[in-house]
Amino acid sequence: MSYMLYIVILIEIYTVLSLSLNVVVGYAGLVTLAQAALYGVGAYVATLLMVNLHWGFLPALLLAVVGTVLSSFLITAASMRFKGDYFILAALAFQVIVYSVINNWVTVTKGPFGIAGIPKPDLFGIHLDSLLTFSLFGLVITVMVGGLIYMVLHSAFGRTLQAIRDDEIAATTLGKKASSFKIRSIAISAGCAAVAGTLYATFITYIDPSTFTTDDSLLLLCMVLLGGTGNFKGPIVGAVILVLLPEALRLLAIPDSVSANLRMIIYGIALIVMMLVRPQGIAGKYKFES
Amino acid sequence: MNPNMASNFLLETVSLSKSFDGVKAVDSVSIQIPERTITTIIGPNGAGKTTLFNIISGLIVEDSGVVRYKDKSLNDTPAWNRSAAGIGRLWQDVRLFKNMTAMENLLVAGRKQAGEKILDLFFQPHKVGAIEKENRQQALEILELFGLAEKRNTISEDLSYGQQKLIALGRLLMNNSDLLLLDEPTAGVNPVIIEKLLEHILNLVKNGKTVLMIEHDVPKAMAISDMIYVMDNGRIALSGSPSEILSNTQLKEIYVGV
Amino acid sequence: MTSIFLQIFINGLIVGLVYALVALGFNIIYRGTKVFHIAHGAIYTSAPYFFLGWVLLTGSTHFTNIGSSLFLGLVSAIVITCLLSALIELIVYRPHFMKGSSSVITFVSSLGVYIVVINLIAIFFGNTIRYLYPGLQPTLTFWGVRVTQMQVIEFIVSIISIIGFFILLEKSSLGRKIRAVSDNSTLANVLGISAKRIRVQVFLVGSLLASIASLLIAFDVGVTPFVGMSAVLTAAVAVIIGGVNSYRGSVVGAILLGLSQNVVIWFLSDQWKDAVTFLILVIVLVCRRQGLLSAKMRLEEK
């Protein structure tokens, strides 16, 4: 039972990550390899506040969101000066630089040793120290974040964002300032990634840089691209696959040493095949047409 | 109609020039567009007509010269802000948002969009709802005007080409454009719809809009225009009323000579 | 004190020249096919591992001596790597080229190829570092600077390869065709140059350069399945800061990055290497959008 709850909590965290990444990849149409870095910024800010300054969960969460959103402006500021295709590079630059900082700024982040002893959330008098309560709490957060993203994507903002994605020039001549929409969609994505990061930190009670690498960004991108882009259920499908695939491999008695690589090979092949036959992913809607 | 009757022009370009790789795509082009008129630019392919439109829309920056709109230079106005000024663009290849319905294409073009401001979305839902309703109302009226009310929930790429062009025109109405830059509006459209399109264009001008068109269908253009410019190799070769242009022997040379 | 800077300079210059090979390969592939070939990193990684595979298969152990078996092994590794890249072009990129897929889709496919190849290598050879040259290298010292034998080889081989590349590009008919396709593929088609054949040839040339580079580095400091990402990103950044339209720019960019990386490695640590690469990218693009050597200014319009 506790194993199942563990899986459920992971699915919750990855659903939040996946939905947030989809705002940028599926709705703004920008492929980004920075999501793990944003996830990491959120996790580290929340952790440092809770561990070093003994802040409570909610204030730490709030500041983690604010901090991550602010950091996302570095990506957009850099990429606004680059042209369209270079956004990928700006995002990747952010990812690489953030990881280097997390990994090397040992005095603050303790580098590769990570930070342990992150307190479980303590909300309105309830101490969430059991798997069950945490999973329920995670569910509440996931639904709230999901609801927020849903509202945003189904509003005029979401509609215009998709118009810009589908034909930026036509949208510009209709009065839409593309850069403003892209910046805001990335900010929303960053804020939600920070929520996932805070959840993750308080769940595992230990974080280190190895969760927030370029390969992790790659994995998150695969998750969204395979599950489906440009609609709401695609990313959820992607999150479920991401969490369940390693478990499935374990059931097939594949040794752990090979399992991680095999998983990536499956993703890689799926990606190649998908882009050829079904670019919108398993359950998605947006096909990345030029 | 004498184009110099209006003392202030809605749109004016003064010696506009733009080169690409050493080739002058637009060469010292000066045109004057008075309000509530239809002006058409004709000329062979590659004459620089679309480039001129791109400069007016703000998508390309001119090398020299000025675009003046409502007597103000547009030099510091970026492309996205030119629509707010009142400049609208109809594309030669239509460019509707393929995955959206006809209604959604129109709604996106609405001038007021409170729902685009995220804070308003959450803290002023009533205002957002009201504006959305207004936009929806306006979109319906436009759909009815074009006789496309029953197609409102059709995905735009499933509409016929002529219908798509009408929706594209409808977007400009939603956007409250005063100056309609129409790039080959009749190209590829079947003759029945062409008549309707031209009728709509005439009505729009009667109701206060101004039209600057690029057209290949010279007779049709002549029939409804107040003023014609002939562009060739980036320059304005001829200008005048339709009758003046038609009687000008140089016209044939420009078209057939290439 | 100056000898430290000279040491850094020499180290940086040499590694920069090796990077230049990867960068030239990346650039020619991009200009010839318009593909952002991130799988170039996988190709880069493959060469040393194909060499290791050959070593295992033939049971050779005496590759410390420059002999025919070493030579054969290197050539086999390079040939197989180049064939792999041709295969990738044929089964992954070509269908998208024929379909007119967007560059995003092609890029993601390239990412998929990278992931598959790297992880296959990791499964067969493990994640830990493999050395192609056992033991320490003999070194040479001059002007207070110490260089290893391998560094000298890198220097010589890179320079010869770079010169060879430019000769190929500017003097040979293949080079002319590649330049034609890069500049204007529709016109090239009209002139009877088959875009399809050129695409394959461009991948072969690019992968040849990348294989030489990675073998040089692998003999110098070893190889892991993960070296490719850093190499291809450095190459991409070198191409961009040098100006996409300039091959010479790619060489200059690569040397610049090699120098900067070595300064950082010396004064900070190896860990900051990639961060510095990207920082330089950001700085160069923010200050001079078209790159350092490219003459063309970007059009404002799409």
What's residue B44's pLDDT? 86
| CB spacing of B116 vs A156 below 8 angstroms | yes
Three-class HEC string of chain C: CHHHHHHHHHHHHHHHHHHHHHHHHHHHHHHHHCCCCCCHHHHHHHHHHHHHHHHHHHCCCCCCCCCHHHHHHHHHHHHHHHHHHHHHHHHHHHHHHHHCCCHHHHHHHHHHHHHHHHHHHHHHHCCCCECCCCCCCCEEEECCEEEEHHHHHHHHHHHHHHHHHHHHHHHCHHHHHHHHHHHCHHHHHHCCCCHHHHHHHHHHHHHHHHHHHHHHHHHHHCECCCHHHHHHHHHHHHHHHHCCCCHHHHHHHHHHHHHHHHHHHHHCCHHHHHHHHHHHHHHHHHHCCCCCCCCCCCCCCC
| CB spacing of A167 vs B132 below 8 angstroms | no
Burial of C2 (0-12, 13-18, 19+ CB in 10 A): exposed
For chain C, percent of residues with pLDDT exceeding 90: 51
C177 touches C239 (CB < 8 A): no
Both tokens assigned to B186 = 């009749």
Distance in Å, alpha carbon of C302 to nearest chain B alpha carbon: 8
| CB spacing of B61 vs C300 below 8 angstroms | yes
Both tokens assigned to C73 = 């092994």
The residues, ordered by sequence, that sit 6+ positions from B190 with a Cβ below 8 Å of its Cβ are: B161, B162
How much is the pTM? 0.88
Residue of A nearest to C34 (CA): A85
Cα–Cα distance between A207 and A186 in angstroms, integer?
A: 24
* Residue C193 vs residue A143, higher pLDDT: A143
Q: Which DSSP letter does residue B14 get?
A: E
What's residue A82's pLDDT? 58
Residues of B within 8 A of C245 (CB-CB) are none
Cα–Cα distance between C193 and C206 in angstroms, integer?
A: 19
C113 touches C90 (CB < 8 A): no
Residues on A contacting B at a C-beta cutoff of 8 Å? 151-152, 155-157, 159-160, 162-163, 166-167, 169-178, 181, 184, 188, 285-286, 289
Neighbours of B32 (CB within 10 A): 19
3-state secondary structure at position B90? strand
B103 touches B132 (CB < 8 A): no
B79 touches B32 (CB < 8 A): no
Cα–Cα distance between B44 and C151 in angstroms, integer?
A: 62
| CB spacing of C299 vs B54 below 8 angstroms | no
Chain-centre distance for alpha carbon C236:
9
Measured between CB atoms, does C300 come within 8 Å of chain B? yes
Q: Which DSSP letter does residue A145 get?
A: H
| CB spacing of A81 vs C114 below 8 angstroms | no
A207 touches A118 (CB < 8 A): yes
Is C298 a residue whose pLDDT tops 50? no
Distance in Å, alpha carbon of A132 to nearest chain B alpha carbon: 31
Measured between CB atoms, does A219 come within 8 Å of chain C? no
| CB spacing of B54 vs C301 below 8 angstroms | yes
Distance in Å, alpha carbon of A272 to nearest chain C alpha carbon: 5
Chain-centre distance for alpha carbon C262:
18
The residues, ordered by sequence, that sit 6+ positions from A208 with a Cβ below 8 Å of its Cβ are: A112, A113, A114, A115
pLDDT, tens digit (0-9, with 9 covering 90-100), for C185-235: 666 666 666 778 889 999 999 999 999 999 999 999 999 999 999 899 999
Residues of A within 8 A of C298 (CB-CB) are 83
pLDDT (mean) for A200-229? 92
- N residues, chain A: 290
Residue of A nearest to C91 (CA): A272
Both tokens assigned to A157 = 């903002």
Measured between CB atoms, does A170 come within 8 Å of chain C? no
Helices A35-52/A178-204 angle, 10° precision: 50
Terminus-to-terminus CA distance in chain A, angstroms?
47
| CB spacing of C301 vs B60 below 8 angstroms | yes
pLDDT, tens digit (0-9, with 9 covering 90-100), for A61-102: 999 999 999 999 988 887 776 555 678 888 988 999 999 999
Neighbours of B153 (CB within 10 A): 9
What's residue B39's pLDDT? 94
pLDDT, tens digit (0-9, with 9 covering 90-100), for A18-52: 999 999 999 999 999 999 999 999 999 999 999 99
Both tokens assigned to A121 = 């959330």
Neighbours of B118 (CB within 10 A): 17
| CB spacing of C299 vs B60 below 8 angstroms | yes
What's residue C295's pLDDT? 45
| CB spacing of A174 vs B121 below 8 angstroms | no
Residue of A nearest to C95 (CA): A276
The residues, ordered by sequence, that sit 6+ positions from A88 with a Cβ below 8 Å of its Cβ are: A30, A31, A32, A33, C36, C107
| Residue C251 main-chain phi, psi, to 5 deg | -65, -45
What's residue C302's pLDDT? 28
How many CB pairs below 8 Å do chains B and C form together?
9
Measured between CB atoms, does B54 come within 8 Å of chain C? yes
Cα–Cα distance between A47 and A215 in angstroms, integer?
A: 22
Both tokens assigned to B39 = 């002006």
Cα–Cα distance between A79 and C237 in angstroms, integer?
A: 14
C106 touches C199 (CB < 8 A): no
Measured between CB atoms, does C298 come within 8 Å of chain B? no
Residues of A within 8 A of B90 (CB-CB) are none
C257 touches C277 (CB < 8 A): yes
| CB spacing of A155 vs B115 below 8 angstroms | yes
CA dihedral sign of residues A54, A58, A64, A67: negative
Of C102, C119, C269, the CB nearest to A261: C119
What stretches of chain A show up as alpha helix (H) in DSSP?
2-22, 35-52, 57-81, 87-104, 106-109, 131-153, 156-166, 168-173, 178-204, 214-227, 233-251, 256-277
Is C53 a residue whose pLDDT tops 70? yes
Residues of B within 8 A of C299 (CB-CB) are 20, 60
Beta bridge partners of B135: none
Both tokens assigned to C141 = 């010292």
Of A85, A169, A262, the CB nearest to C103: A85
Distance in Å, alpha carbon of C100 to nearest chain A alpha carbon: 9
Which is it for strands B23-34 and B9-20: parallel, antiparallel or unpaired? Answer: antiparallel
| CB spacing of B108 vs A184 below 8 angstroms | no
What's residue A142's pLDDT? 95
Nearest to A116 by CA among A211, A207, A40, A42: A207
| CB spacing of C299 vs B59 below 8 angstroms | no
* Residue C204 vs residue B129, higher pLDDT: C204
Residue of A nearest to B168 (CA): A170
| CB spacing of C300 vs B20 below 8 angstroms | no
Chains with 3 or more CB pairs under 8 A to chain C: A, B
Both tokens assigned to C246 = 């300039």
B11 touches B179 (CB < 8 A): yes
Distance in Å, alpha carbon of C160 to nearest chain B alpha carbon: 35
3-state secondary structure at position A285? coil
Measured between CB atoms, does B78 come within 8 Å of chain C? no
pLDDT, tens digit (0-9, with 9 covering 90-100), for A100-139: 999 988 889 898 999 998 988 888 777 888 888 899 999 9
What's residue C70's pLDDT? 81
Domain locations in chain C as residue ranges: 17-226
Cα–Cα distance between C269 and C275 in angstroms, integer?
A: 11
